[in-house]
Structure 1
Amino acid sequence: MATKTLFNTVVNWFIRQRIDQIENFIKNPIETQKGVLFSQLYHAENTDYGKIHGFSSISDYEDFQRNVPVVTYEDFEPFIEKARRGAPDVFWPGYIRKFAKSSGTTNAKSKFIPISEECLEDCHFKAGKDLLSIYANNHPENTLFLNKNLRLGGSSELYEDFNTKFGDLSAIMIENLPFWVEITTTPSKKVSLMSEWESKLKAIVTEVKNEDVGSITGVPSWMMVLLQRTLKETGHATISELWPNLEVFFHGGISFKPYKEQYRKLIGKDINYYEIYNASEGFFAIQDRHGSDEMLLMLDYGIFYEFIPMDTFHSPNRQAIPLEEVELGKNYALVITTNSGLWRYLIGDTVKFTSLSPFRIRISGRTKHYINAFGEELMIDNVENALAKACDATGATVTDFTGAPVFMKEGESGAHEWIFEFSQNPSDLEQFTDVFDDTLKSLNSDYEAKRYNNMTLKRPVVHVAKPDLFYNWMSSRGKLGGQNKVPRLSNDREYIEPLLELNA
């Protein structure tokens, strides 16, 4: 025990040294970002992509804007395929041997996101250390390294193809973690790398139920499934009975708002919650203040950030802007240039800035995940805030949900149709619907205008889902576990129709 205590003290001291560097980029954000951009350009000027777009002649940001186009995955895919098939110096110096396979939430087609050694070390692993540094700095009394961290990744099977490896980002990271991380985490690498979700879940429960877990890391929805299975297996009433030293949940991937009250009951005591914003393409932001609902944009991970205002996103003349030009409270599509060779890449997420000194953000949605069938421009952050109000008013707890438009026909107004899966049903479903609707009106003037006198939009159509509806639907799509997410909003009825059929 004395050795573990000393180890905890030494590690806490070491990781807190990083705080000085974080404070430096907070004080010098624009200079830090310019340094990142021109370092990347210099590094890649002799690649195929660098020669095509004249990286060596770029001397300022305006040149960068003119020379290098904003791209989607589909635009960039030919270069990625060339690198996957073994060609060096395509968009990043040398060979790219690792690719994170990601289908996202909308496309069935797989994406292969390049993961360079620089990205792995200076972005993803650096961010993991920073998360611990920030937590240790905020909670100097922590005992994080006296106990295990329970990690829950996605489908972790790695594949060999064209002399490169591809798989979930979690698989790539687990394969390349330093030995000391393996000592402090559970489940074992063998179990973490299992691919079939149900078998993996059983194996994880078998391993973790006998560990002393002090922290947990994962996507809230899937972590909840694991914790509930663990309680069922062990017969404990709450997680804190099983793991009395549990002190923090590091979570990301989806909004935590719908799950907050459920976790409080499930764990059985107050713990700390820290949000992270990462993806296969990079690690972008970390909650840096205890109890906050916003995240610090991390500016020295080899990622250069740009932003497209969503009110011009669908315009042929849209322009990305740099960090120094962003405004508070506006929705922006995120554009990234990374140390894996993604150049002005549209990741598909939208963010809002909540602070400009330092630069802090909230994730507001997806560029493809919205409802705008009638000009209402409904984004996920509107929905989550309205949902929180409706739950508070009716004592409800929502597990999962999705929404879609009901299109106009035969002279009738349209509507929005919702399926909500509750772990605690609302005391009055009509009141729940009214509060949800009224809050959306108060948050979104476009929605309010379309709802006026039911002229364009009628009152929302709300369905209560059967237990485990979303779990069974995700299972039927081969999307169980880890990094897979339920699509919350859609501008068509692709997702809601099969869910309604299963719910019948």
Structure 2
Amino acid sequence: MISTVLTWAVQRRLASIEHIRQQPLDAQAQVLTDLLRTARATEWGRRYGYAEGPSAREFAQRVPISSYEELYPQIERVLQGEANVLWPGRPAWFAKSSGTTNARSKYIPVTRESLHGGHYRAGRDMTALATLYYPEVDILGGKTLSLGGTHGPNPFRSTDATSRVGDVSAVIMQNLPAWAEYVRTPPLELALLDEWEEKIERIARHVLTQDVRVLAGVPTWMIVLLRRVVELAQAESILDVWPRLGLFLHGAVAFGPYRELFRQLIPSPQMRYLEVYNASEGYIALQDEPNSEDLLLLLNHGIYYEFVPIDQWEASEPRAIGLEEVELGRTYALIISTNAGLWRYKIGDTVRFTSLVPYRIRIVGRTKHFLNAFGEEVVVENADAAIAAACQATGSTVRDYTAAPIYFAAHNGTSRGSHQWLIEFTQPPEAVNLPHFTQVLDATLRQLNSDYDAKRHRDLALQLPVVTAAPVGTFERWLACKGKLGGQHKVPRLSNSREFLEELLSQLNN
């Protein structure tokens, strides 16, 4: 009876989903109007004349496109407790994530409007679609096992116990409405533990006896948890523990490398998978068709979108275009303005439109080379600094390098991945020092990047990097065979695909 009522309630969101499919430009125009009206009395709104009700074109002309580093002076004031800087009021919550160059972590304001009008609204949308497409799972009749991070005091407001920072998943879970908490497991006291090894163990023991029908989280950690549950239950597969398990809502990293592992862990042709694009900055898109990996852009969830063609990204004044101007097949850097006070913000992701009726996208990468196969969010600046530290510690010098993931190996059952670094030394470390080079590389990355550090904790999700020394001339020969030797052509430093790395490794054997 309760699941029937909940299903009826969430499926009321289907009309809103249809509205953004049928009237996308109207939806976006209304979002921009609402954002400008709400923020007109803030310091930022006064600076750029929001009270005058600027059009989309005027908004783009007045307000600069900003990176996190450029917006940080205002964000820092918000962190410190100033009110009405970027958004009305004084937000109590901040999502903490990596990927910035000016600090170990970045802090994204999370307002009541962004929680309820963005994250939770989209969560209901995803639930509505799942109940529509997979009624046989009866997802609201059992539990959704959701994995997330943790939160703690705001370090910028040491005297204010009400202000908190943490992973966006932890912020969302801590503030869930009662109906959502009713269908979720594990309880908050386990879900928000900050020691990952203890967390996985205690959650695994708790959910053994739960009627889990849906999984929600990052594939990296979900694999670790499922394997532990199977071990504790002494079962053949997870279906022996949860026979009604039928859906995995996944996001944060590309799912392709994990697909076979999940097929082995959950050997059922009835298991379904849906992708979500939920970032610290907001809930951006979701998979709205069961047989397509394209994601429906969410256009009435408190985010106004603009797009910079990727070939213009490095221009001194890149021109962002509106939704009505995008073209199929082109790659765009995403620019967002949100109901958390991010204005014309460079989120760092690149997308490609696969459909214009309705507007559907695929995430195709980052505006910078990036390693995020396991949720570690390592940027090139992190990698360069780590290489430099390792060289200094071992008396070596590096000409070129590239790095890519070593994904979980389905054939041998390991649930931990790694990074493989192919490095061309001009002055290599002595053979006995190569392990030390690797240790310093790893330690520096952990120091610089909190998400990488979390994944490396006790080797739980990421093992020590694998460093392979390349003979002198390896990268030059590779560029030459690609017809890209000289000029501005560069070796991709970081990639979530092993394509470049495997091509380079093949040269070592020739």
**Structure 2 CA distance for partners of 1:167 and 1:268, relative to 1, 3 Å:** same
With 104-113 and 117-126 compared, the bigger mean Cα shift is at 104-113
Deviation, 1:125, is: 0.9
2:312 is matched with which residue? 312
Q: Secondary structure at the match of 2:8?
A: helix
What residue in structure 1 maps to residue 73 of structure 2?
Answer: 78
Determine helix, strand or coil for the equivalent of 1:332: strand
Change (3 A) 1:324 1:494: closer
Tell me the number of residue pairs that the alignment of Structure 1 and Structure 2 aligns.
416
* Counterpart contact for 2:308–2:318, Cα < 8 Å: yes
| 2:300 match | 300
**Alpha-carbon offset, residue 155 of structure 1:** 3.3
Unaligned runs of 5+ in 2: 388-398, 413-438, 466-489, 499-510
Aligned partners of 2:379, 2:69: CA distance in 1, in Å? 27
Match of 1:200 in 2: 199
Q: CA shift at 1:106, angstroms?
A: 6.9
Contact in 1 for aligned 2:43/2:84 (Cα 8 Å): yes
Q: Match for residue 264 of structure 2? A: 265
Task: Pick from 431, 440, 455 the counterpart of residue 480 of structure 1.
Answer: 455
Matches within 5 A, 1:77-476: 77-104=72-99, 109-159=104-154, 161-162=156-157, 163=160, 164-270=163-269, 271-369=271-369, 418=404, 420-421=406-407, 423-424=409-410
CA distance in 2, matches of 1:250, 1:360: 18
Q: Which amino acid aligns with 1:259?
A: Y
Instruction: Pick closer, same or farther for the CA change 1:421–1:105 going to 2, 3 Å.
Output: farther
1:17-96 aligned within 5 A:
17-96=12-91
**Normalization by structure 1: what TM-score?**
0.75
Letter in 1 for 2:341: G
Instruction: Please tell me the residue identity of whatever aligns with 1:219.
Output: V
Q: How many angstroms apart in 1 are the aligned matches of 2:118 and 2:124?
A: 10
Does structure 2 retain, via aligned residues, the 8 Å contact 1:403–1:418?
no
Aligned amino acid, residue 253 of structure 1 = A
Cα distance in 2, alignment partners of residues 137 and 263 from structure 1: 23
Q: What amino acid is aligned across from residue 37 of structure 1 in structure 2? A: L
- 1:159–1:92: structure 2 CA closer, same or farther, 3 Å change rule? closer
Q: Aligned-pair distance for 1:179? A: 2.3
Relative to structure 1, the CA distance from residue 230 to residue 400 in structure 2 (aligned partners, 3 Å threshold; closer, same or farther) is farther
Give 1:234 shift: 1.5
What are the superposed Cα offsets for residues 120-165 of structure 1, whole Å, 9 maximum, x if unpaired? 1110111111110111122233311221110000234454642322
Shift of 1:475: 7.9
1:16 equivalent in alignment to 2:2: no
2:456 and 2:401 mapped to 1: Cα distance? 32
Q: What is the rounded CA distance, in whole Å, between the counterparts of 1:73 and 1:337 in structure 2? A: 13
Q: Distance in 2 between matches of 1:418 and 1:92?
A: 39
Query: Within 2, Cα distance between the matches of 1:44 and 1:419?
Result: 42
Deviation at 1:99, TM superposition (A): 1.1
Please say if residues 144 and 215 of structure 1, whose CA atoms lie closer than 8 Å, have aligned partners that are also in contact: yes
Q: Deviations over 1:414-463 (max 9, x none)?
A: 8866553451469xxxxxxxxxxxxxxxxxxxxxxxxxxxxxxxxxxxxx
SS of equivalent to 2:285: strand
Q: What is the aligned-residue RMSD (CA, Å)?
A: 3.5
> How has the CA–CA distance of structure 1 residues 401 and 75 changed in structure 2, closer, same or farther, with 3 Å as cutoff?
closer
TM-score where L is the length of structure 2: 0.75
Is the 8 Å Cα contact of residues 157 and 193 (structure 1) preserved in structure 2? Answer: no
1:423 corresponds to which letter in structure 2? A
Q: 1:55 to 1:337 in 2, by over 3 A?
A: same
Q: Deviations over 1:189-247 (max 9, x none)?
A: 10011101111111111111111100010001111111111112221111111100001
With over 3 angstroms needed to count, the CA separation of the structure-2 counterparts of 1:30 and 1:400, relative to structure 1, is closer
> CA offset at residue 16 of structure 1?
1.3
2:432 aligns with none
Partner of 2:311, secondary structure, is helix
Q: CA deviation at 1:60?
A: 1.3
Decide which moves more: 302-311 or 82-91.
82-91
Once the two structures are superposed, what CA deviation does each residue of 1:170-190 show, in whole Å capped at 9, x if it has no partner? 222222112232221111110
